[in-house]
Amino acid sequence: MNDDAGNPFAELLEEYVAECAPLAEAVGDTLVTLERRWEEGDPADQLFGTLKGSLHTLKGNSAMMGLTAIQALAHCMEDVCAFLGERPDLRPSASGLLLRGAGVLVEMVGRAARGPLSADRSEAFISEAREFIQTESVGAEVSAPYPERRRFERRTGSEVGELGADGVVSTIRVDARRLDGLLETFGETMIAGLGLREAVRDLAVHHRGAGFTDLEHALTSLEKTLKRLEGALMATRLVSIATVFGRFNLLVREVANAHEKRVRLVTSGGETQLDKTVIDRLGEPLVHLVTNAVIHGLESPEDRERAGKPAEATVTLSATQRSDRVILTVTDDGRGLDPERILHKARQLGAVAADATPSREEVFAMAFLPGLSTTERVSALAGRGVGLDVVANSIRTLGGSIEVASEPGKGTKFTMSLPLTLAVLRSLLVAVDGERYAVPLGDVAESLRVTNEAIHEVDGHGMMFWRGQVIPVSDAAEVLGGRAARSSRTYCVVVRSGAKRRGMLVDGLLGHQDVVVKALDPSLGRPPTISGATILGDGRIACILDTARFAELRTTEAATPSLS
């Protein structure tokens, strides 16, 4: 079932990490909560018990794998906990120590499958912890090492839970690659279904009668079943976003401590579910946004008090589902972005003309331009000067969009919109210059018929009135085909990305279709306006338009080079 089947130990190690990494993260998470509760004078005994249980399981599992350094670390943390069990008065002062231990634990467990572990950091922690216990135990005897009370049984291979008499939901563990394979096969089935539908449509011109009607009914029923199958398949891939949010308590605490900030992390909507592929690739951009917020977005406690804000800053991570998209936000109540500085830097980079006067939204959108958001101050935790453009790229490759809003002195809010699934896309098919393109339906504000007179030329840019506002218009053939604009296109698709709208002139509207998204081969480079491709019912390929990029295209004339 696994490529590593030849090395059963490697497989076991991977399973160990899969099982224990969340556990170690939970230890850190619990500790952050405990620290707060202890400071408030609440002993939080029940939560403390949970912590001890997790540590014990980690110790046992690590021992089973012969990971002695992790075993010793978990054991030592248990010792500290046992000591604190007898000395509730010491709990608030020991939380920092335990949190350092949790940090080391998360790191070591995460690295366990990638070769031998160095015990330097765990040993440093252990001696620190011993010293703490010795200093604080005034004559009291140090707790004896925990006896092995339970045997831990390793679970191997795919494990099928049984539906017990108590009605517990049974679960089965499946290699994620099998699910991916299933999804791919489903995609091919859907394309075959589209082909069938097209063939039936062609036949319909010449054939009528009972037999044909039966065929149509059968096909319709097949399509409905496929739709349900899609839903069921997607459901197997949904993971709640809490698995990603879970890492942030510890991270925020570490980053805040290292930069002498006081930060409270608030998360909401952790139960929101997203496709596993999206979840897996979401962690990194979120880490960048959150660390950036803490390091650069938040003021020092003193500055905050001077500004009349609470000394403790708040960073909020939230997720909500809105129809077939998930909206994620990262909000801080820090100093906010400085539009003047962004504009100044954008001018330096030549991304905006010196005399242009972009709106505030347009200026904030420039924060995602390459090279703009890199701060001079580079810290180990914020990464190696990773800019917002990298974050925006990761979000875009997930079929998402990102925008930022900010109020100087009040804070900054990043809003990301992500598709629930990457596999199937509801789209509008359009014809441009003899090719067909799929436009993600979620980004289509309206499609309409237009006449030449409706398009006005302002400074060489097409503009039109749409719902009471002036929006830019581009000829799709010119953007996609690099050809000179023709003015005879009769349809306009208004696409949106955040607050931006752009009209796209096309030759024809070919209707709505669910398409199966396929990635483009890397040898095709990264076409800026194309996000992927799909196979249509007739077997031909259509490219999928990257609407966000298209809408942002040439906001100002000078911004063009940075998008190519």
Q: Which residues bind another protein (CB under 8 A)?
A: 187-188, 191, 370-371, 374, 385-387, 389-390, 393, 435, 479-482, 518, 520-530, 533, 535, 539-543, 564
**274 membership: H or E segment, kind and range:** strand 273-275
Residue closer to another protein, measured from CB, 167 or 525: 525
Q: Rounded to the nearest whole angstrom, what is the least distance from the CB of residue 523 to another protein in the complex?
A: 4
Query: In sequence order, what are the residues at sequence separation of 6 or more whose Cβ sits closer than 8 angstroms to the Cβ of residue 36?
Result: none
Picking from 150, 143, 149, 147, the residue whose alpha carbon sits closest to that of residue 82 is: 143
User: Do residues 471 and 502 touch, judged by C-beta distance below 8 A?
Assistant: yes
Residue closer to another protein, measured from CB, 59 or 436: 436
Residue closer to another protein, measured from CB, 44 or 542: 542
User: Do residues 364 and 392 touch, judged by C-beta distance below 8 A?
Assistant: no
DSSP string spanning 167-206? -PPP-B---HHHHHHHHHHHHHHHHHHHHHHHHHHHHTTT
Residue closer to another protein, measured from CB, 316 or 562: 562
Residue closer to another protein, measured from CB, 217 or 540: 540
Residue closer to another protein, measured from CB, 145 or 527: 527
Residue closer to another protein, measured from CB, 41 or 434: 434
Query: In sequence order, what are the residues at sequence separation of 6 or more whose Cβ sits closer than 8 angstroms to the Cβ of residue 78?
Result: 52, 55, 56, 59, 146
H helix runs in 356-458, sequence order = 360-365, 388-397
CB atoms within 10 A of CB 243: 17
Q: Rounded to the nearest whole angstrom, what is the least distance from the CB of residue 391 to another protein in the complex?
A: 11
Scanning the structure block, which residue is given the tokens 């030849």? Answer: 6
Q: What share of the chain is helix, strand, coil (3-state, %, to 5)?
A: 50, 20, 30
Residue closer to another protein, measured from CB, 81 or 422: 422
Q: Rounded to the nearest whole angstrom, what is the least distance from the CB of residue 547 to another protein in the complex?
A: 14
In the numeric block, which tokens belong to residue 266?
A: 């608030």
Query: In sequence order, what are the residues at sequence separation of 6 or more whose Cβ sits closer than 8 angstroms to the Cβ of residue 490?
Result: 449, 450, 451, 507, 508
Q: Rounded to the nearest whole angstrom, what is the least distance from the CB of residue 272 to another protein in the complex?
A: 29
Q: Rounded to the nearest whole angstrom, what is the least distance from the CB of residue 395 to another protein in the complex?
A: 14
Residue 522 DSSP code: G
SS3 letters across 54-74: HHHHHHHHHHHCCCHHHHHHH
Mapped onto helix, strand or coil, the DSSP state of residue 214 is helix
Residues in the chain, total? 564
Burial class (CB in 10 A: 0-12, 13-18, 19+), 555: buried
**448 membership: H or E segment, kind and range:** strand 444-449
Q: Rounded to the nearest whole angstrom, what is the least distance from the CB of residue 504 to another protein in the complex?
A: 13
Residue 216 DSSP code: H
**215 membership: H or E segment, kind and range:** helix 210-236
Q: Rounded to the nearest whole angstrom, what is the least distance from the CB of residue 165 to another protein in the complex?
A: 46
CB atoms within 10 A of CB 169: 7
**476 membership: H or E segment, kind and range:** helix 476-481
Scanning the structure block, which residue is given the tokens 């980690």? Answer: 58
Residue closer to another protein, measured from CB, 108 or 479: 479
In the numeric block, which tokens belong to residue 367?
A: 């924060």
Q: Are strands 263-268 and 469-475 parallel, antiparallel or unpaired?
A: unpaired
Q: Rounded to the nearest whole angstrom, what is the least distance from the CB of residue 459 to another protein in the complex?
A: 24
User: Do residues 248 and 317 touch, judged by C-beta distance below 8 A?
Assistant: yes
Q: Rounded to the nearest whole angstrom, what is the least distance from the CB of residue 281 to another protein in the complex?
A: 15
Q: Rounded to the nearest whole angstrom, what is the least distance from the CB of residue 502 to another protein in the complex?
A: 16
Residue closer to another protein, measured from CB, 58 or 535: 535
Q: How far apart are CA 331 and CA 317, in angstroms?
A: 7
Q: Rounded to the nearest whole angstrom, what is the least distance from the CB of residue 385 to another protein in the complex?
A: 7
Residue closer to another protein, measured from CB, 499 or 524: 524
Q: Rounded to the nearest whole angstrom, what is the least distance from the CB of residue 11 to another protein in the complex?
A: 23
Q: Rounded to the nearest whole angstrom, what is the least distance from the CB of residue 48 to another protein in the complex?
A: 44
Residue closer to another protein, measured from CB, 267 or 374: 374
Residue closer to another protein, measured from CB, 319 or 530: 530
